[in-house]
Structure 1
Amino acid sequence: MDGSDTRRGTGRSSEKGRISRRNLLQASGALGASALAGCTDSEYFGGAAAGFDEKAFIVGYQPFYTESWSSLVIRHAGLDEKYLPDEYSVGAWEVALQGAVIGNKMISEQTDIGYTGDMPTITAIANEETLIDMMAIAGFSNGQQCNLCIVPADSSIKEAGDLDGGEIGVTTGTCTHRFLLQAIQEEGIDVDLSDQGMQTIVTNIREGNIPAGAGWEPSIARSAIQENAAEYLFTGADYEANDAAGLLMLDSMVENHPEAAKGWLKAELEAKHIMATDSERTLDLIQQEGQLRDYERETLRAVLYKNIDVNPEVERMLFYTDYEAVDAAERLMKEEAPEFLYEDQGVISHIPPEERYRTEPLQAAIDELEDEADWEPLREAER
């Protein structure tokens, strides 16, 4: 937003906000209270490093980040088996509670394919140790998935300005953190940002230990909708702050196994088609994910298909895959997020080079599916 936005109020800068900006902790490369290790799903033979069998790929995914749920649809609909060439397979599905964990594992070549939020996506493709490519976006929204601020149910806080002088729980180094810093700056308020993991935030909100928290779906919806313990206060839509998830691949996979890379992108495109056109089947598939066993179906439905009351006209999820076909998504992934991490934070040493954004395999997948599939692979999925 430009400097004329009336939400800036007095125009005061928050000293705590500036400190938080300087200490973004490697933009999700290294996290504070939220540094969380990944684990391997027990249904697969875990513990393998990428490369143990170059045709059995390791997939890092985040069941607790809604914008990466196309990975759940691929997994539980068997789309990987449908589209990967016969000699290829998924060796392991590795769960991570933070995209940074997936990015770090890709840098150390322990993971071949990764689903990460926008911040760790940029951090990963900007690294100079291992070439990693952004192939597509797994999810995108106008600030309705990662850019969410909540307060306890029945809180006296009714608008962002009421947070002045208070404490907000946020997981540093995430898209939520970036959004919250923007909101603080635009509101001209002074707040105490407390570095907490996502589950700690919702617990503290439920118990009334903090006046506000910020985070991502589906944890926020579980607290607000399923448990009636929280209320949405504002979202990224109020500040033109979008959020996304990236689909990453090791450059060596793309170069050495191009048919497999293209096959995975076909699976991604069909997953988006299912999510955009068949909500009940989508929910059936997502409910097969054991990590989400504690989530009620209506909570899962809400985070994908029901708009938030504070932004009733803003769609919850936009099922895009080709970020170059969506101006706001391309701007976020190629300009806004990289510039924030490089120029504002100094967290990455350079803006990711253009060759790390690889969409040619996606275009090839789209072209082939237009001839092969009985559905049309759209660059922008229609709702």
Structure 2
Amino acid sequence: MKKISVIFIAVLLLVGIVGCSNSSSKASDGNEKPKKIILDYAFYSPTSLVLKEFGWAEEVFEEEGIEVEFVLSQGSNKALEFLNSGSADFSSSAGAAALMAKANGAPIESVYIYSKPEWTALVANKDSDIQSVSDLKGKKVAATIGTDPYIFLLRALNEEGLSPSDVEIVNLQHGDGAAALSSNQIDAWSGLDPHMARVEIETGAKLFYRNADSNTYGTLNVRSEFAEKYPQYVEKVIEVYEKARNWVLENPEEAADILAKSANIDIEVANKQLNERNDFSNPVPGDAQIEALTEAGKVLQAQDIISKDVELDTIVDELINPSFAKKVIKQ
């Protein structure tokens, strides 16, 4: 009986080993491949909406038996939470938000630029007395902490010689910030498209402070663990993003229709966001992003949001990884 038990346990162990080995499947070239790839989509990333709409990622990876799942990111903060928790393999965020996450230890890399947007500005209602950043002193200003609009607000205050303590920052997710502005629960809002374009068109809200250079780029980020384990699949994801980006460039009106339908916004709002405030021309991360993130990082360090002990240049260089995009995109 004892001998039979030993044999039975040995068989169970063997089955377990075989099962584990099967869970780590192989690609045609013999390298490991994931069973599932989780991508995010976001209303501030029209390219991701086009990719999801046409199912191009599913088509490509179905050939290899890899499942594709999409999750909705309501803001850069949520997108980066998905990455950090392993709930997504790729996520869309503002470059500066990714920098904050990286400086706080998130194991991520920015491998693709989905757009250069002017997606944030400081917004007040049309009848507001607020005309400039200096008028914000003592006012309630909504912003989503950990996102580009929040960092944009900090930079605007800093340039005016103000600090975050000179205003009351109300932490609201982007859509809630737009609603709070429209209902006069706050005095101003550091907005994000498409919500910003919507209140501008629907309520006459005014963008009283704009600075396109303080908007950091829209970056597609990947978990470093995924990139190290499945480099060829990082390239394949970039390939399908490239297909979506080129389609947007060739079909701007149809892309605006997809954005309007996905975000449940009017086509006029979608056109303002997509065709007036987005530049899809350069998808390979590089010197421009390094410069933009370094400048944003200096402000974040000055406010102790990024520790002054962090070697900013090192963190930026570790975050911006153009190697995958350069293999895929020939410019």
Q: 1:73 aligns with which of 39, 46, 50?
A: 50
- Runs of 5+ in structure 1 lacking a partner? 1-50, 307-315, 368-377, 379-383
2:273 to 303, 320, 343: 303
Q: 2:104 aligned with 1:145, yes or no?
A: no
- Say whether 1:59 aligns with 2:39: yes
Question: Counterparts of 1:301 and 1:246 in 2: how far apart (Å)?
Answer: 21
Q: Give 2:296's aligned residue.
A: 337
Deviations 1:170-208 (A, max 9, x none): 223322122212222322357423313133322232123
Q: Shift of the alpha carbon at 1:356? A: 4.1
Q: 2:180 aligned to 195, 204, 209, which one?
A: 204
Give, in whole Å, the separation in 2 of the partners of 1:246 and 1:210.
Answer: 30
SS in 2 for 1:208: coil
**What is the TM-score of this pair, normalised by structure 2?**
0.78
Structure 1 CA distance, aligned partners of 2:300 and 2:137?
26
Evaluate the alpha carbon distance shift between residue 119 and residue 364 of structure 1 in structure 2; reply closer, same or farther with a 3 A threshold. Answer: same
Structure 1 residue 279: Cα displacement: 0.7
Report deviation, 1:339.
Answer: 3.9
Q: Aligned with 2:329: secondary structure? A: helix
Aligned residue among 306, 321, 328 for 2:283: 321
Cα offsets for 1:313-336 (capped at 9, x unmatched): xxx211131121xx4333123x22
Deviations, residues 213-259 of structure 1 (Å, cap 9, x unaligned): 2121111111111x22512211123xx41322221112232233233
User: Which secondary structure state, in structure 1, belongs to the residue aligned with residue 237 of structure 2?
Assistant: helix
Change beyond 3 A, Cα 1:131–1:202: closer
Match of 2:140 in 1: 167
In structure 1, distance between residues paired with 2:217 and 2:63: 31
Structure with greater helix share of residues: 2
**Helix, strand or coil: the match of 2:185?**
coil
Q: How far does residue 94 in structure 1 lie from its aligned partner after superposition?
A: 0.9
Label 1:347 to 1:186 Cα distance change in 2 as closer, same or farther (>3 A): closer
Aligned to 1:223: 199
Aligned position for 1:361: 324
Q: Where does residue 194 of structure 1 map in the other structure?
A: 169
Cα shift readout 1:257-295 (whole Å, capped 9, x = no counterpart)? 233211111112222222223211212333452xx12x0
Equivalent in the alignment of 1:43? none
Query: What is the percent sequence identity of the aligned residues?
Result: 21
Q: CA deviation at 1:355?
A: 4.3
**Equivalent residue for 2:68?**
91
Q: Say if 2:199 is the partner of 1:260.
A: no
Tell me which residue corresponds to 1:24.
none
Q: Is the 8 A contact 1:59 1:90 kept in 2?
A: no
Q: Max radius of gyration: which structure?
A: 2
The 3-state SS of whatever aligns with 2:109 is strand
Match of 1:243, SS state, is coil
Q: For residues 234 and 132 of structure 1, do their structure 2 counterparts lie closer, same or farther at Cα, with a shift above 3 Å needed?
A: same
Residue equivalent to 2:16 = none
CA deviations on 1:144-163 (whole Å, 9 max, x unpaired) are: 202x1111123333333333
SS in 2 for 1:137: strand
Deviations 1:86-109 (A, max 9, x none): 215453211122322332332232
CA deviation digits over 1:129-168, x for unaligned, max 9?
x632211122223xx202x111112333333333344332
After superposition, the Cα gap between the structure-2 partners of 1:342 and 1:156, relative to the gap in structure 1 and judged at 3 Å, is closer
Q: Distance in 2 between matches of 1:107 and 1:201?
A: 25
Secondary structure (helix, strand or coil) at the match of 1:133 reads strand
Inter-CA distance 107–157: structure 2 relative to 1 (3 Å threshold) = closer
| Unmatched runs of 5 consecutive residues or more in structure 2 | 1-23, 25-32
CA contact (8 A) 2:115 2:278 kept: yes
Q: TM-score, structure 1 length as denominator?
A: 0.68
Query: Which residue pairs with 2:15 in the alignment?
Result: none
Contact 1:163–1:189 (8 Å) recurs in 2? no
Task: Report deviation, 1:127.
Answer: 5.0
Contact 1:80 1:90 in 2 (8 A): no
Q: Does residue 111 of the first structure (1) align with residue 88 of the second (2)? A: yes
Amino acid of the structure 1 residue aligned with 2:179: T
- Residue matched to 2:30: none
Q: Is the 8 A contact 1:274 1:281 kept in 2?
A: no
8 Å Cα contact 2:115/2:218 also seen in 1: yes
Whichever residue aligns with residue 336 of structure 1, its letter is E
| Cα RMSD for the two superposed structures | 2.8
> Cα distance 1:154–1:270, how it changes in 2: closer, same or farther (>3 A)?
same
Quote the Cα distance in structure 2 between the aligned partners of 1:357 and 1:160. 31
